[in-house]
Amino acid sequence: MPQARACDERLPRGRAGFVTLISLLVVTLMTAVLFSLATGAVRVSPGAILAALFGHHPLTVTQQIILLQIRLPRVLASGVVGAALAISGLMFQGLFRNPMADPYVIGSSGGAVLGACIGIFFFSQLSLFGFSATALLAFAGSVITMALVYSLARSNGRTNVITLLLAGFAVSTMLGYSSYFFEAFESGSGSDHFIFFSWLHGGIGIPHWTQLSVSGAFLLFAALVAMPLMRRLNTLALGDEYAHQLGLRVEYTRIGIILTGSLLTAVAVSLGGLISFAGLIVPHVARLIWRDLFGGGGYTRSFDVCPQRDSCRNLNGVSRRAVLSLSTA
C-alpha cells in the first residue's frame, strides 16, 4: 500500500496549504471590502474606517450615512450575489457534467425576466419587508420556472439530464422574449425601460438591511445544504449506473442539487438582476487553483468519491477503474 502511505504523508501538508489559501482569500476579501467602502464620490480614507472600527476616532454623521446606508449594504449584497452564483454554478456544472453550465442553465433567467417585467412595469411602487416588487417577483419567477422545467423533464420517476437541459433552454427562451410584450405598453423614453435594462444587464443597487438579512440567511441555509451534496458531484461524474453501484441515491441527490441551486440563483437574481459571469467563471478559477496547489481536477476532493465505503468492496473491475481514473484526474 505505498500509494496509501504517500497520500497519508501528503495530508498534513495539504491541510496546511488549505489553511494558508483560505487565510489569503479572507485577507484579499477584507482588502477589497475596505477599498470598496473607501471609494466613491465622497472619499472616506481606509485609515478613518479602520480607526472608527477599532474605536479610536468616530466618523462624522455624513460619513456614517454614506458608509452604513449606501456603501456597506451594496458591498455586502455584492458578496451575497457572488457567493450564491459561484456555488450554484459549481453545482450545476457538476450535475450536468458540462463546463459551460451556469446558474441559469435550466431556465431561471427566463422566469426572472418575466417576474421582473411585471414588477417594473406594473408594481414599481410596491414593496414588502424591504423587498421591492421587482425583487420578489423575479425571485418567484425564477423558482417557479425551475419547478416547471423539472416537472417537464421528469418521466417515470427519473430525470434525464439531457431532457432537463432542453426543457430549461426552451422555457427560458420563451419567457425571456416576453419582455417585448411588456415594452409595448410604454414609450421607449420611460424610466421603467431604463430600470428594466439596468436590471437585465445586472447591477447591485442599495438594498434595505432587511432584504440583505433575509438574502444572507437564505444563502447560509443553501450553502449548508450544498456542502454534503458537493461530495456527491465526483460520484455523479461517473454516470448514473456507476453512481448506483457506489451506493448513491442518484435521483434524490439530483433533486437536492436542483433545489439548492435554484434557491441560490433566485437569491442572486432578486438582489442583482441577471449577472452571469460569476456563476460560470468562478467555479473554474477555484478548481484551477485547487488543482495547481493540491493536485486533482475533480469537482470535489478525490477521496470523497465513494460515499459508502463498504459498497466499494463489491465493485466490479470496470467500476474500480472508473473510480481510480476519476480520483487521479
| Rounded mean pLDDT for each run of 10 residues along the chain, 329 residues in total | 48 66 86 86 79 75 83 90 90 85 84 85 76 84 88 81 86 81 65 75 82 89 88 78 79 86 88 83 83 59 43 44 42
Q: What residues contact 266, with CB distance under 8 A and at least 6 apart?
A: 108, 112, 138, 139, 142, 143
Which residue range is the domain that position 188 belongs to?
Answer: 77-327
Asked which of 9, 32, 59 is the last residue of a domain, the reply is 59
Number of domains in the chain: 2
Question: Which residue bears the cell 484526474?
Answer: 329
Alpha-carbon distance of 54 to 303, in angstroms, equals 43
pLDDT of the residue at 21:
80
The DSSP bridge partners found for residue 132 are 127
Q: At what angle do helices 250-272 and 209-230 cross, to 10 degrees?
A: 160
C-alpha cell at 23: 487565510
Alpha-carbon distance of 250 to 10, in angstroms, equals 32
The verdict on 183 and 53 lying in the same domain is: no
Instruction: Decide: helix, strand or coil at residue 92.
Output: helix
The verdict on 147 and 12 lying in the same domain is: no
The verdict on 304 and 193 lying in the same domain is: yes
pLDDT of the residue at 188:
53
| CATH code for the domain in which residue 120 is found | 1.10.3470.10
| DSSP, res 126 | -
| DSSP, res 300 | S
C-alpha cell at 181: 410584450
The verdict on 130 and 55 lying in the same domain is: no
The verdict on 147 and 285 lying in the same domain is: yes
Alpha-carbon distance of 78 to 70, in angstroms, equals 13
Asked which of 59, 92, 109 is the last residue of a domain, the reply is 59
Nearest residue to 233 (alpha-carbon basis) of 79, 42, 97 = 97
The verdict on 4 and 113 lying in the same domain is: no
pLDDT of the residue at 224:
92
Residue 71 located in a structural domain: no
Residue 67 located in a structural domain: no
C-alpha cell at 178: 416576453
pLDDT of the residue at 220:
93
Residue 65 located in a structural domain: no
Question: Which residue bears the cell 412595469?
Answer: 121
The verdict on 52 and 183 lying in the same domain is: no
The verdict on 45 and 155 lying in the same domain is: no
Residue 28 located in a structural domain: yes
Nearest residue to 123 (alpha-carbon basis) of 115, 133, 114 = 133
The verdict on 137 and 280 lying in the same domain is: yes
The verdict on 47 and 134 lying in the same domain is: no
Asked which of 28, 59, 90 is the last residue of a domain, the reply is 59
pLDDT of the residue at 80:
92
For residue 201, give Cα distances in angstroms to 127, 175, 205, 211, 302.
22, 16, 13, 21, 37
Element (H, E) at 159: strand 158-159
pLDDT of the residue at 128:
75
pLDDT of the residue at 181:
77
Sign of CA pseudo-dihedral 263, 266, 268, 270: negative
pLDDT of the residue at 189:
55
Q: What residues contact 192, with CB distance under 8 A and at least 6 apart?
A: 120, 121, 124, 186
| DSSP, res 208 | -
pLDDT of the residue at 285:
85
Residue 225 located in a structural domain: yes
Residue 11 located in a structural domain: yes
The verdict on 82 and 47 lying in the same domain is: no
The verdict on 138 and 263 lying in the same domain is: yes
Residue 264 located in a structural domain: yes
Alpha-carbon distance of 305 to 294, in angstroms, equals 17
Residue 122 located in a structural domain: yes
